[in-house]
Amino acid sequence: MSLFRKSALTAILFLSASVAVAAPTADELLSQIDADIAAKRLGSPAGNNAIEKIWQFKDSSPYDQRINSRAYTVGEFYVGLANKAIAAKKYAEAQDNLDKAWDIASLTPGLSKAQDNLDAATGKPSVATVQSRPTPAAAAPAAPAAEDNSAAIAAAKKAEDDKAAALAAKKAAEDEKAAALAAKKAADDEKAKTLAAKKAEDAKSAAAKKEDEKAKALAAKKAAEDEKARQLAEAKALKEELAAKKAEQARLQAEVRKAEEAKRNAAAVAASAPVAADENDDEEDAGGPVSSSGSKENEPAIASFDLNGNSVENRVTDQIRGQLEPICQEIIDNDASVVLHTPSLQDARWLLVRLTLCVRRIDKDFRLRHSYDIATGVQPSVSLHAGRNVSLGKKARQ
């Protein structure tokens, strides 16, 4: 995810520096995002994908809720990829896709369940119970053979038995030969009967088949003509509908431009007056950057924890997870709000995903209140502040 987010930022900066045109309006950005989603350009190519434009829209219009449905659509796509990866036991790939969903829209439907499934799949396997097989009973000793007291009587009896056996074998062979001849005759008769019936059936159905094929050909020809006429009618109706939609869209765009102009004029008038806090902001979207010039939280932090800068900069997930676990426990124990202190917004957003996953593994019902403190060259750290109903990001905007 590190390479993806960095390449996205690089592409945006390059385009903004090299192309001397006016920034797209909010409606134009929404149209471009819809086009990217329809074309499956979600995370690539760099500089022309839905995720980059969603962040661009959020940065330029942070209070415009129209972006939420687009963000959830992208999030659901990555949740779907993650579920397929879990089924294929590609757990690292699954977590990477879930990270993207957590980053772009943490309230995506199905995201929490997919994370639970992945956490369960990567746990320790249960120990199988070994069942013993029953020991077979020992064979009973053979009964002792009866002793023959008269060799002469046994020899005479054996001769008679051999003669009777020879006669029986001869009779059985003759019976078997007669049965084989009878079976062959019956099989030949059945085969001749089957062939005759098949020939009669073929002759009977040939004429009917020919008539059916002729009727089908005529029906297919008529159906093709009807389909062609229907398609022409639909094309004409669609053309008329598109023309009407285009005219309506032009009218709506004109109204939007007029409304945006009025909003800018109102904002210019309101700029000279104190800005009241918006008590209805969604807490999930309140984690905007806190200005490093003094508008951040004024009271001292409950605690502050420095993080390894290399782990954050290079997105080393395994290292940062061990650093965040005790911090997450402190956050939950104190019901604390947090401020992420990082050199860049991209580092803060990546760190927020890691912190969110860490907290939810301890308490899935805990709502993490967060804000950012972005300052170039700052050592990455997390500071804890007294819990409150309004996040630090909102207080910074008051």
Looking at the fold, whether 207 and 237 belong to one and the same domain comes out as: yes
Looking at the fold, whether 249 and 324 belong to one and the same domain comes out as: no
Domain that residue 22 falls in: 2-121
Please write down the long-range contacts of 229-232, taking CB distance under 8 Å and 24 or more positions apart.
none
Looking at the fold, whether 219 and 320 belong to one and the same domain comes out as: no
Produce one character per residue of 341-377: b if its CB has 16 or more CB atoms within 10 Å, e if not.
bbbbbbbbbbbbbbbbbbbbeeeeeeebbbbbbbbee
Query: Does residue 370 form part of some domain?
Result: yes
Looking at residue 373, its pLDDT comes to: 93
Looking at the fold, whether 91 and 14 belong to one and the same domain comes out as: yes
**211, two tokens:** 């008539």
Distance CA 68, CA 108 (A): 10
Return per-residue pLDDT of the chain as tens, 398 residues. Answer: 444 444 444 544 444 444 444 678 889 999 999 999 999 998 888 889 999 999 999 999 889 899 999 999 999 999 999 999 999 999 999 999 999 999 999 999 999 999 999 999 987 333 322 333 333 333 344 444 444 556 666 676 677 788 878 888 898 899 999 999 999 999 999 999 999 889 989 888 888 898 989 999 999 999 999 999 999 999 999 899 888 888 887 888 787 677 767 766 665 555 444 333 333 333 343 444 444 333 344 567 889 999 998 989 999 999 999 999 999 999 999 999 999 999 999 999 999 999 999 999 999 999 999 999 999 888 999 999 987 554 444 333 33
Query: Does residue 377 form part of some domain?
Result: yes
Judged by DSSP in three states, 372 sits in strand
Query: Does residue 170 form part of some domain?
Result: no
